[in-house]
Structure 1
Amino acid sequence: MREFRAAWIPTVGNSCWPSKPTLSVAEQKAELIALLDRAAALKLNAVVFQVRPACDALYRSDIEPWSEYLTGAQGKAPSPLYDPLEFAVAEAHKRGLELHAWFNPYRARHFNAKSPVAANHVSRTRPELVRTYGRYLWLDPGEPAVQDYSLRVVLDVVKRYDIDAVHFDDYFYPYEEKGPDGKELPFPDDVSWQRHGAKSGLSRNDWRRRNVDTFIQRVNQAVHAEKPWMKFGLSPFGIWRPGHPPTIKGYDPYEKLYADARKWLVEGWCDYMAPQLYWAIDPPAQSYPVLLKWWAENNPQRRHLWPGINSLKVGDGPTGWKPSEIVRQIELARDITPAAPGVIHWSHSALMKNTDLQLALGREAYRQPALPPAYPWLPNRAPGKPTAKLTVKGQQGTLTWTPAPTGEAFRWVVQVREAGDWKTQILPRGQMALRFETLPEAVAVQGVDRNGHAGPAVVLQKGR
């Protein structure tokens, strides 16, 4: 089976990991391992891990300060020193999970930040790039130097870490803040507008959209230039614009966030898009399937379309959903995008805390393991045929295999035939042995590269 199965792991505000900024390094590692163990146990195949919440870093960086969400003080390194992103990548890959590094490209300080700003934070090193907006600090997307700065941050991680993808969510220009009088505050970009936009021939709103478009396009090009196999994913607000399709009402990120997500999808400026479809299946006018079908109809480049779904809504008080809602949403994604289905759960906390949801996923939606869909437009580095040996001892056996000299497997697919039925296991690249209590009738082993391209299988049959 092919299906993308992922969950977001937010770090901002200690909302998922680490659970609080006072944890020891050992406790941080234990929490992260528990998250990844749960993802693997539920047969997910990826996690989306937030590494840059607000111009800070959950990794060793020479550009931005350590995040306060790690240690309680921005700029303070974990002690004993370790690199959370390096650790997360290694532990995810041990479990056959992809790790998508999630960046917030423009937010410079969150309203829930408690510690003083570090000396090497961009608001102190490059204050001309930063705007105060309501309760936030925000990089001004209208300044070309902001694009250069955030792109430098992204590429630093792409170059130094074995991540599988770069990921942005829905924060571009900020969601509206209100002043003391309750009125919406304008974003304070008069300086950049006069310097870069006023003579562009565009309206201010169109100029803002172009700023975001240009940055998205630059990141897509730069990531693939550095590592052609790496994925770039976007997770915008779930509605492109009210009235698209006609029954849809509500927030307009095109006008408010200056995010033209349909354009990004139409142009193919990402490898997957995960619109945040946090609505229920019913009522039908403003619903998950109506929106997902609309996005699928506006995908001429056939990029992967994996909706974000609101798993935290399950059991959330009197208006909460039943687990069956999430199972049905997963099934609808399979029906609406059958060639390459998938979803991303918001957030991993729901998969840790909600036992009913865990049981529903394990017994219904995710009974069988799944490989992520392949990316036909990215390089095909499918591994060659491995060599395999089945060592027999009585009625038991041990299967071992060795990679081919060509290509590199990111995962192994092992298919086992017993009583005429084939069963599939998906194993991480470091596991190249499997023990059987009773000898199977046949086994097949094939490698799969990190973009889902499968190589030829070696097949062993009992008694041959």
Structure 2
Amino acid sequence: MKKLFIAVLSVLMFFATTAVSADEGETELNRYVKNADGTYGYDESKPVYLYGGSDERVKIPNTYVQERVQFKSSWIATIFNLHFPQVNTEEEFINKYEERLDQMESWNMNAVIFQVSPLLDAFYPSELNPTSQFLSGKQGQDVNYDPLEYMVKATHDRGMEFHAWFNPYRVTNSDIDAPAILSQVVALGYTAEEVKNFTPAEQVEALNKLGHLSNDNFAVKNPHLVLKFQGKLFLNPGEPEVIKHVADTVKEVVTKYDIDAVHYDDYFYPYKGALRKDPEGKDIPGSDVFGTFEEDRETFLKYKGEFDDTPAGIEAWRRDNVTKLVDAVNDVLKTHNQTTKSAVQFGISPFGIWEHKANDPRGSNTPAGSSQSYSKTIFADTYQWIKDGKLDYISPQIYWSFSAPAAPYGEIARWWDSVVEGTDVKLYVGHANYKHTSNGGWDADWMNPDEINNQMKFNQKLKNISGSSIYSYADIVKSDIDSLDEALRPRNIAKNDSIDILKSDSFSKPSLTPSHKRLSPKDTSPLQSASIKDGKLVWTDALNNNARFYVIYKGTPSQTVEEIIAAGNIVDRVNFEAGKNNIYDLEDVNAAYAITVLDKAYVETTGVKAEVIEPLSVTLTEKSIKVKLNSGLTETELLELVKIVSNHETIITTDFSQKVDLSKVGEYTVNIKVSSSVTDEIFEGNVVVNVEADTPTDPEVKPDPEVKPDPEVKPDPEVNPEGKLPGTGVSSTSMFMVGGLVVMGSILVLYSRKKKSMQ
């Protein structure tokens, strides 16, 4: 009974200990506030719940555990040269891009999202779109190099994916009524009132005259396909010609460049804007939402099909227009991938809230007063695109804190996690590191340097989140605090501290980007072998011609290749080049290493463990060989006589046929070159071949034929010639002498005994 009690107690103690450990692994989150003394910190009296009305506390894991596979990136926006300056030379461009790669590499990021077409333009030579003003300084003014070709190669050389970021519809991003632009247009002879009342086509014409839009801009060629909202221009999503142009733009790029993904952000139909003013300065009702003034009414009537002519029907028609664009791009990529054995992904980074549960039961627990992207504005049905498998990844911009009432991070992240459940679509969360500086002055949440790192830790609780991207590139680079006004320093210090925390924790180790198995060409094989020699990892890939990267893992000599890979200690991702003899410098020569191959869909092969190769050792056992004149010795026979011993598989060559003349007596030096088949080492040594003449022998002496030898004399059988005893071979004389000695010895012994007795 006592033993039973102890056993039960032990089990209870185990479960109690496990429960405590689970609780100790997480911390309940409280509001981050500004205290009365101006300092900031967590207020334990203000718990953070998952969303308004929820009784579920947000819990943050105490530690971050890096997974072997996790997407990590940042956006480089080129519009208005936000994150990439306008340069004058190719060398300047290369230097600036390499700086960005250096920075992202220091974060252990594995992908670059670069804006290659911000305004219906191009950061590459194009037959369809003009060169970007943010590249050359003026739209349509070409440069004498190909930035995109360089960027793709340079990014792959760093072991990173390159995602080409396009804005499909946007023609301009500046309000023509803004004073700086308005004054230029007025200078053309228009009045300010005329400018405000421009039709889209008239605005295109005026901006073309100013040189803001080049002659080869699609909007200039097709002004009837352009819409206007809040003084800005965008292509009409309802026009089939627009869809075709956008799809053709993607086709041109994937045909010319080995990119990894086509990336769209959240700009489809326009966002809600600010209310416009009438001439008297009063707000114009409804002017903040596209469609209020039936900007696309004519297009709807032309293409509405079976959609109802109601507000709900028009919204559904707009969503369908954007979905048709997504389908067209999808078709281009599928055709390209299948015909070229490529694996170009299609990803979209939408506004963080799809729809509110109050408006649609499929939506998130977010207030109906917050913005959304499914209805009223934008009209992007990302939920259905995911369910229908139209995308390879989704990267929602969840640009809020845990305690943001209008859009709480925890609830929105969990919602997106549930949407991708059961699909092949990868989920990469977009995080707003920029809000430390943009909102930190008034929102205490963004004075918390742990905010984004807490989000990264929280993501570990959601099994379908496969990575994260930081917006923006400018906010993964530290601010120069001393150069800032005093009022701006605290929020920038919070950003800098956030960078330190992220880089030392959730971005402290490298990882692989997720695989997209449905895109895989299935044409990549594992390496057959790899070796370590003189502190270098060496391998040659004779099997593959369409892979993307090699992955180098580090482990211990006692681990198997599977154990090394499972541990996930990634040393590097090395760009694949067909037929290349790869040599990689190792920092730790005492470790063990394994190498896998990634295909273009980032599907990983099994690995091979590198074999440690000792330096080439060669011994020429025999260094001097003697052969007869005209012996017919061959090179192969010579090598057999030399008996070469080596610790490597080798290839042996000699100059035997050039140096040795077997028809002449002499001493010949033969050079033997021994080349390792596993390293680039070569051993050279010499062997002396002595060619000798035949040695003459004495001539046979024949007896004189006239002289006959004496006949053999045989002893008389009756006579013992030497007196030898029969059967012994010993002579009788010898036997007599031995006998005499024995008799004399006996006499001496007897005499000695008698003498002793007399004494």
Normalised by the length of structure 2, the TM-score is 0.57
CA contact (8 A) 1:313 1:321 kept: no
CA contact (8 A) 2:163 2:259 kept: yes
Change (3 A) 1:410 1:461: same
Please state how far the C-alpha of 1:419 moved relative to its aligned partner: 7.5
Q: 1:65 aligns with which of 119, 127, 130?
A: 130
Residue 84 of structure 1 is matched in structure 2 by 147
- Structure number with the bigger relative contact order (C-alpha 8 A, sep ≥ 6) is 1
Superposition map of 1:40-439 within 5 A: 40-78=105-143, 81-111=144-174, 115-177=211-273, 178-181=275-278, 182-183=283-284, 184-185=286-287, 186-187=290-291, 188-197=295-304, 200-201=307-308, 203-228=313-338, 229-243=343-357, 244-249=363-368, 250-255=370-375, 256-283=377-404, 286-299=407-420, 300-316=422-438, 317-318=440-441, 319=443, 320-337=446-463, 341-354=466-479, 355-381=496-522, 383-393=524-534, 397-406=535-544, 408-418=546-556, 423-430=569-576, 432-436=582-586, 439=589
Distance in 1 (CA, whole Å) between partners of 2:612 and 2:257 is 42
Distance in 1 (CA, whole Å) between partners of 2:586 and 2:149 is 34
1:31-77 C-alpha deviation (Å, 9 max, x unpaired):
11101111122111101111111111111111111111112211111
Please state how far the C-alpha of 1:268 moved relative to its aligned partner: 1.3
Please state how far the C-alpha of 1:263 moved relative to its aligned partner: 1.1
1:411-443 C-alpha deviation (Å, 9 max, x unpaired):
222222348685431222259322345533532
Change (3 A) 1:457 1:322: same
Change (3 A) 1:315 1:191: closer
Return 5+ residue gaps in structure 1 as ranges: none
Change (3 A) 1:88 1:357: farther
Worse-superposed segment, 265-274 or 199-208: 199-208
Change (3 A) 1:74 1:285: closer
Please tell me whether residue 457 in structure 1 is matched to residue 607 in structure 2: yes
Change (3 A) 1:415 1:398: same
Change (3 A) 1:438 1:30: closer
Distance in 2 (CA, whole Å) between partners of 1:285 and 1:195 is 38
Change (3 A) 1:247 1:143: closer
CA contact (8 A) 1:142 1:208 kept: yes
Secondary structure of the residue aligned to 2:123 is coil
Change (3 A) 1:73 1:400: same
1:90-134 C-alpha deviation (Å, 9 max, x unpaired):
111110111111111111111179752111112221111112222
Distance in 1 (CA, whole Å) between partners of 2:587 and 2:427 is 41
CA contact (8 A) 1:270 1:303 kept: yes
Change (3 A) 1:437 1:75: closer
Distance in 2 (CA, whole Å) between partners of 1:428 and 1:333 is 29
1:254-311 C-alpha deviation (Å, 9 max, x unpaired):
2211111111111111000011100112357832121111112122424101111102
Return 5+ residue gaps in structure 2 as ranges: 1-67, 182-210, 358-362, 480-495, 615-759
User: Pairwise CA RMSD of aligned residues?
Assistant: 2.4
Distance in 2 (CA, whole Å) between partners of 1:93 and 1:437 is 22
Change (3 A) 1:438 1:40: closer
1:362-417 C-alpha deviation (Å, 9 max, x unpaired):
21112221001111322253632224443544xxx221011241363322222223
CA contact (8 A) 1:334 1:341 kept: no
- Identity over aligned pairs, percent: 29
Secondary structure of the residue aligned to 1:335 is coil
Please state how far the C-alpha of 1:26 moved relative to its aligned partner: 2.5
